[in-house]
Amino acid sequence: MKNKKQLRRTRIEALVVLLGVAGYIWVGLDVPLYYRMPGVPGPSVFPVVLGIIMAAAALWLLIFPGEEEKPPKGAPEQSAWRDFEGRWQFYLMWGLLIAYVFLLPGLGFVVSSALLLIAFFFLLGERRWYLAIPIAVVFTLAIYIGFARGLQIRLPPGILASVLR
């Protein structure tokens, strides 16, 4: 349950996500022609599909941010720091996504995506590293094989260029 301030913040965050998704789809549709192959779904398919899913989630939060909770009478107002304290993972995840965009060309898809998934697992509360690391690596490799080998979509190899050829 949320108070009015939290509902408003949820709607603002949903709007920011929606604007970011619009930019993501726009950049995804602007992939140079030399990356496209005839008869094969192009590299624009993944960003558009993922963008539509993220836009739907953001629209849901924009329209249905949750139910308002009435604070008990005499309860003190929650401070801005305490509100941030409960949301630091959200802001750190956005920071990691921005870092991912910049590290992707240099590190490559496999390394940067596996590191991002591992970080997200730990930020979301998973503490069993022996489970989080293999799952992140296996899923990243499965996605790489599916897109790079199966759909013939070029993904940045980065530091693993010699291994992934």
* Overall average pLDDT of the 158-163 stretch: 73
Same domain? 67 vs 31: yes
pLDDT at 83 > cutoff 60: no
3-state secondary structure of 154: coil
Residue 36 — left, alpha, or beta (φ > 0 → left; ψ -120 to 50 → alpha)? beta
68-79 confidence digits (pLDDT tens): 666 566 656 655
Distance CA 120, CA 70 (A): 32
Same domain assignment for residues 46 and 95: no
Q: Please tell me whether residues 55 and 95 are part of one structural domain.
A: no
Task: Give the pTM.
Answer: 0.54
Kindly list the distances between the CA atom of residue 155 and the CA atoms of 68, 74, 120, in Å, as whole numbers in the listed order.
44, 57, 21
Contacts 24+ apart (CB under 8 A), 138-145: 140/109, 140/110, 140/113, 140/114, 141/110, 143/113, 144/109, 144/110, 144/113
57 and 97, same domain (yes or no): no
Range of the domain at 41: 1-73
Domain end residue (candidates: 41, 73, 105): 73
Which residues, in sequence order, are CB contacts of 143 under 8 Å at separation 6+? Answer: 113
